[in-house]
Amino acid sequence: MASICWFNQAFASAAASRRVYSPPSSSCHILPGKVLTRSLRRQRALTPSSAIAPRRVSAFSVVAQGVANEEMERRGPHDLLIVGPGVLGRLVAKEWRKEFAETCIVGQTMTADHHEELVKIGITPVLRGKELIPKFPYVIFCAPPSRTSDYPGDVRLALSKWSGEGAFLFTSSSAPYDCDDNGTCDEDSPVVPIGSSPKTDKLLKAEKIVVEAGAGVLRLAGLYKEDRGAHTYWLKKGTVDASPDHILNLIHYEDAASLSVAILKKNIRGRIFLGCDNHPLSRKEVMDLVDRSNKFSKTFVGFTGPIGPSGKKLNNTKTRKEIGWEPKYTSFGDFLGVSVK
């Protein structure tokens, strides 16, 4: 099911072909597979149905026919821009579509490599750096820090695409929490100071920009699904030179998406939330569960690093209470259908 939104061919194609872009003052009504502007709907009402084939009328041709911007409807109140429509971003889009079926969802990517896939699932793709996007009432930033030299800069750019209505959510990481003795951490626990590591610096600088702009942050624990996450990486390696006792905090990708959507829908400003399943496990426990699940063809050999605590145990009871959210998968073991021994 591919939804075409006002942003899609009309403005992207128009800008690409004419090398100009005038932001639309308004948007189209979005239905799966068609674009209906107010004027087009009016035209449909006045014209015999045989004379109009809305599925073949692209938004670009509507523009080309001289339908002026002012004749087009205002953009939708729940239109969503996803910066980084990867694994999490696509699940967010799916959840968002359940709530707001006829809204426009645009996904901003680094490359055009996955644009076809995005179109197929109803996300209108646009390349990072293309100054084509008018402001959106809802924006979620779920691009990882690994592909850019200026992560805070990318977050700032995404904020410039937010209209200030609705909400903006930056999906950060729980990595900056200052704890390495397998102790407990929650939303209010202190974070490491700037300068501790390039990884935490990127995240903390980006978070600061977000909170100062009145937007929200969701610090996520390790994301996983059956074929993605720390367990798949370790399975591939077989033997891993790391401590078996290090505590890992996890959240299933689907739960991270449902929590993100729940936070976005609350329109909360300037706050930091935490996303985790409240079932921290040691690396060894994670791989023992993998082994006992019989869901994986490969066999993990073991961890060969030094024994001893080096992680943290996350708890997001405050986030759950405030947002009114609970995960579908209460733990990694629950997801695999295996209990921790």
Which residues of the chain form contacts with ligand NAP (CB under 6 A)?
Answer: 83-89, 108-111, 113-114, 128, 142-145, 147-148, 154, 171, 173, 220, 222-223
Q: How far is the CB of 341 from ligand NAP (least distance, A)?
A: 25
43 versus 124: smaller Cβ distance to ligand NAP: 124
SS3 at position 63:
helix
Contact present, 223 and 88 (Cβ < 8 Å):
yes
28 versus 220: smaller Cβ distance to ligand NAP: 220
Rounded distance between C-alpha atoms, residue 318 and residue 296, angstroms: 35
38 versus 128: smaller Cβ distance to ligand NAP: 128
Q: How far is the CB of 119 from ligand NAP (least distance, A)?
A: 13
Q: How far is the CB of 144 from ligand NAP (least distance, A)?
A: 4
60 versus 224: smaller Cβ distance to ligand NAP: 224
Q: How far is the CB of 222 from ligand NAP (least distance, A)?
A: 4
Structure tokens at 334: 């629950």
Residue among 206, 85, 97 at smallest CA distance from 156: 206
Q: How far is the CB of 163 from ligand NAP (least distance, A)?
A: 19
Q: How far is the CB of 128 from ligand NAP (least distance, A)?
A: 4
Residue with the CB atom nearest ligand NAP in the bound state? 86
5 versus 133: smaller Cβ distance to ligand NAP: 133
Strand boundaries in 216-334, DSSP class E: 216-220, 222-224, 239-240, 247-248, 250-252, 272-275, 281-282, 302-303, 312-314
The three-point CA angle 174-180-183 to 5° equals 85
Phi, psi of 219 (to 5 degrees): -85, 120
Residue type, 326: E
Task: Number of helices (H) and strands (E) in the chain: give both, helices first.
Answer: 12, 17
**Given CA atoms 62, 65, 70, 71 in this order, what sign does their dihedral have?**
negative
Q: How far is the CB of 234 from ligand NAP (least distance, A)?
A: 13
110 versus 211: smaller Cβ distance to ligand NAP: 110
171 versus 258: smaller Cβ distance to ligand NAP: 171
Contact present, 178 and 191 (Cβ < 8 Å):
yes
